[in-house]
Amino acid sequence: MTLIMQDARGPVPRLILMMLAVLMLALASGCARDRSDEDDGPEALYAEAQQALNNRQYDRAITLYRRLTTRYPFGRHAEQAQLDMAYAMHRARQPEAAITTLDRFIRTYPTHPNVDYAWYLKGLVHYDQAMGMLRRLFPGQIVDRDQESARRAFMDFQELTQRFPESRYVADARQRMVFLRNVMAEAEIKIGEYYFRRGAYIAAVNRSKYVIENFPGAPATVDALALMERAFGRLELDELSADTRAVLELNFSDLDREDDRRRGLRRLWPFN
């Protein structure tokens, strides 16, 4: 009986040793795998992400920037990685993700040296949403698109110019604001013309007034006055109609023809 128990106990230590050996082998394999997954620090990871971005491998760049901000959430590389990741998202046509990343950056680092770029890039994302590829292929159709992104882009650029007037991005932002203003003004005229065709002449007058008051200097101001004159005429407000015509002739006699007005708008397109 004693011999049987010794034989029965004999394999037990050997089994434990085998299990320990397997466990140590698994741990060693896991450590080796972890070491292979590790990088050489935030500098090397940031450089790898930058290389992917420069090579226009935007999805890979986003993955690397996200890995950097997760593993090394503090420090200058993590901060800059958020901006670069937002740019990569913009180029990868992920506007919602880019805006979310930029908003988070602006909230977290309001005094960052490059926060002006965050506002500028946010404006660009909204700008491209508003314009799309049609801005190069079919510029006449831009005004028919949803204007909400155009308004947001305008406000982003305006925020940049007001908060950081010395920023190197201000000049381009102001130029884009001019075009956005012109596009939004012409969109309002489109709506006013629709009201006029439906016989809603008071609504057409109000829309024209809105353009004149909110988009001064836009080429559509000429169309706003012309629409207002016609609407007053249909309302049999002859004196107001004549006064509006006098203002139109006094200020825009050289742009009274439709072709001249359209050419004037095209000349203000600054991004050919």
Contact predicate 250/164, CB 8 Å: no
Residue 224 lies inside a defined structural domain of this protein = no
Task: State both tokens at 233.
Answer: 């005429």
- In sequence order, what DSSP letters do the residues of the chain get, joined into one string? -HHHHHHHHTHHHHHHHHHHHHHHHHHHHHHHHHHHH--S-HHHHHHHHHHHHHTT-HHHHHHHHHHHHHH--SSHHHHHHHHHHHHHHHHTT-HHHHHHHHHHHHHH-TT-TTHHHHHHHHHHHHHHHHH-THHHH-GGGGGGS-SHHHHHHHHHHHHHHHH-TT-TTHHHHHHHHHHHHHHHHHHHHHHHHHHHHTT-HHHHHHHHHHHHHHSTT-THHHHHHHHHHHHHHHTT-HHHHHHHHHHHHHHHGGG-SHHHHHHHHHHT----
Q: Is the pTM of this model over 0.75?
A: no
Domain that holds residue 66: 42-92
Residue 260 lies inside a defined structural domain of this protein = no
Q: What is the pLDDT of residue 24?
A: 63
* Measured distance CA(160)–CA(90) in Å, rounded: 18
Q: How confident is the model at residue 271 (pLDDT cuts 50, 70, 90)?
A: very low
Judged against a pLDDT cut of 70, whether residue 8 lies above it is answered with no
Task: State both tokens at 115.
Answer: 């926060």
- Least confidently predicted of 5-19, 25-39, 189-203: 25-39
Residue 67 lies inside a defined structural domain of this protein = yes
Q: What is the pLDDT of residue 40?
A: 72
**Cα angle at 27 between 21 and 33, to 5 degrees?**
140
Residue 244 lies inside a defined structural domain of this protein = no
Residue 220 lies inside a defined structural domain of this protein = no
pLDDT, one tens digit per residue, over 88-137 is 999 999 999 999 999 999 999 999 999 999 999 999 999 998 877 445 43
Residue 105 lies inside a defined structural domain of this protein = no
Tally of structural domains, the chain: 1
* Measured distance CA(191)–CA(272) in Å, rounded: 27
pLDDT, one tens digit per residue, over 216-266 is 889 999 999 999 999 999 999 999 999 999 998 888 776 545 555 454 444
Q: What is the pLDDT of residue 73?
A: 87
Q: Give, to the nearest 10 degrees, the angle between helix 201-214 and helix 170-197.
A: 170
Judged against a pLDDT cut of 50, whether residue 157 lies above it is answered with yes
Q: What is the pLDDT of residue 38?
A: 55
Residue 114 lies inside a defined structural domain of this protein = no
Q: How confident is the model at residue 176 (pLDDT cuts 50, 70, 90)?
A: very high
What's the rounded mean pLDDT across residues 147-154?
Answer: 90
Residue 61 lies inside a defined structural domain of this protein = yes
